[in-house]
Amino acid sequence: MGIITGDRGQSEVVGAILLFGIFILALGLLQTYFVPQEIAATEQNHVEEVSDDFTEMYASIGDAAGSNRERSASLSLGTRYGVSTVFLTPPPARGTVESESVGSLSSENGDAFSDLDDRELVNEVCGLSGVETKALTYEPRYNEYQNAASHTYEAGVHYRIVDGAGLKNSQRLVDDESGVTTIHLTPITHGSIRESGTSREPITFKPGVTGDTGTFSVGEDDTPATIEIPIQNQDGWKASFDGDFVMPSEDEAVLSLDSESGSEQYRIRCTPIGINTDPENEPAAVFTGDDSGEDEDTGGINPIGADALVLKGPSSSADKLVLKNKADTAKVVTGVRVPWASNPGNGNGISSVDLTFAKTSETASSVNVGGTKFREVNEWTWSGEETHNINIKGISGKPNAAIAVVLEFEDGTTSTYFSSGKGNNS
């Protein structure tokens, strides 16, 4: 039997090999060029998601400080790529959110707060023995996208860093839109977080008590008060501020509250923020609300400062406010109101009180407790560095009794004074 020979089928084999080679080449080209582009697009979408998340987180911190209620936000740490049975995809892109201590706020009291002696101004306003502040930072680790920004929050400032350069974002540290420049300190002082992965991480921000200096003046010849805030990135802070009022250096930002900064009227507020933790602070004066109408209070409780009308203790009690003018110019009161009073064990409570200015014996009778309108008075005047009493009838001086009295001055500003009954020494 002869051997059958022929070349039938050879062309089909060669064609199949060529087609397979073309297919492999195409896969290689797609793996090399198309897949990285798709991965970069997925990562770009996540960059935008994180930017929205961190902006929302920044807003939540500000809202917690402004409302004195805890607020929550969440942050997408990373992203996963689509599953493919043909193409090779890298591991999921992971990110890290972390709080890290960067130091403590410090200050110089200046002439306006020289009465604090060795006590630092920021410690008094924030109500802490030391105001350690933490940066909250998000760092991404992408496989393809190379221009992703890191996000950082520090003491009221949110900035981004790309290739070492700062990108302007938001700041709530300085409000100079009105005639008074307000410094809002919102340092993260309590709690911590460090989470890495691809999940969505929830974070709760809990505010402490908001401290307030009330409005104070700085003259040309006065030594200014200064605040030093430790920072991580000078470029980020420079990108967030215009002008020279906030001066960032390599490791701190300095605020000098003087007349050369474009303002002679200042106030400082501080709300410590905790991450999933309640800050425990006791400021020297408590902020009671922004001025949003003629009947709203604008001053802190028991104000401090070189030009303030201050509550003197231990002589003051619920039935007697002893007030001293710390300025060398007169303080003239034109209205009073009593938003709150408590007299436990006194039956049906207190509906009204009588306030008598001891210097002139003039009485504002039947001032409603809880009323929103100021009762006019005939220019109750404290001359420079004088002390006078306001005696209150309708509430006792017993330890559990307490009252809040708001005084309106002739320039339209207000201050709120809280005093309780005298207790026994133990």
CA distance 66 to 316: 31
Lowest-confidence pick of 154-158, 251-255, 369-373, 383-387: 369-373
Q: Which long-range contacts link 418-423 to residues 24+ away (Cβ below 8 Å)?
A: 418/301, 418/302, 419/311, 419/316, 419/317, 419/318, 419/321, 420/317, 420/318, 421/317, 421/318, 421/319, 421/396, 421/397, 422/314, 422/317, 422/397, 423/399
Distance of alpha carbon 425 from alpha carbon 70, whole angstroms:
37
Give 225-265 pLDDT, tens digit per residue: 899 999 988 888 888 887 668 888 889 999 988 877 666 78
Position 294 scores a pLDDT of 37
Q: What is the mean pLDDT of the chain?
A: 81
Q: Average pLDDT for residues 159-176, to the nearest whole number?
A: 74
| Mean pLDDT, residues 112-135 | 88
**Residue 373: band (very low, low, confident or very high) from pLDDT cuts 50, 70, 90:** confident
Rg over CA atoms, the chain: 32
For residue 362, the SS3 value is strand
pLDDT number for residue 274:
95
- Between CA 382 and CA 386, with CA 383 as vertex, the angle to 5 degrees is 75
Contact by Cβ (8 Å): 123, 106: no
Class at the top of the CATH hierarchy for domain 309-420: mainly beta
Q: Cis bond leading into 90, ω under 30°?
A: no
Largest CA distance in the chain: 142
User: For the chain, which residues make up each domain, given as ranges?
Assistant: 44-81+93-275, 309-420
What value, to the nearest 5°, has the Cα angle with vertex 309 and ends 304 and 312?
80
Per-state percent for the chain, helix, strand, coil, to nearest 5: 20, 40, 40
117: exposed, middle or buried (Cβ count in 10 Å: 0-12, 13-18, 19+): exposed
- Residue-wise pLDDT for 32-72, tens only, equals 556 667 787 888 888 888 888 888 888 889 888 888 888 98
pLDDT digits 0-9 by tens, 311-343: 887 788 889 999 999 888 899 999 998 887 877
127: DSSP letter? T
Q: Is 2 exposed, middle or buried (0-12, 13-18, 19+ CB in 10 A)?
A: exposed
How far apart are the C-alpha atoms of 91 and 79, rounded to whole Å? Answer: 10
Q: Say what the pLDDT of residue 17 is.
A: 67
At 71-83, the pLDDT tens digits run 988 999 988 876 5
pTM for the model stands at 0.63
% the chain with pLDDT above 70: 79
- 192-232 pLDDT, tens digit each: 999 999 889 999 999 998 888 888 888 777 888 899 999 98
Q: Which helix (H) or strand (E) holds 257?
A: strand 252-257
Bridging pattern class, strands 265-270 and 181-185: parallel
d(CA 77, CA 53): 10
Q: Which of 139, 132, 83 is nearest to 105 (CA)?
A: 132
Q: CA–CA distance from 95 to each of 77, 175, 247, 356 (Å)?
A: 5, 33, 31, 64
Higher pLDDT, 292 or 229: 229
**pLDDT reported for residue 293:** 38
CB contact set of 22 (below 8 Å; sequence gap of 6+): none
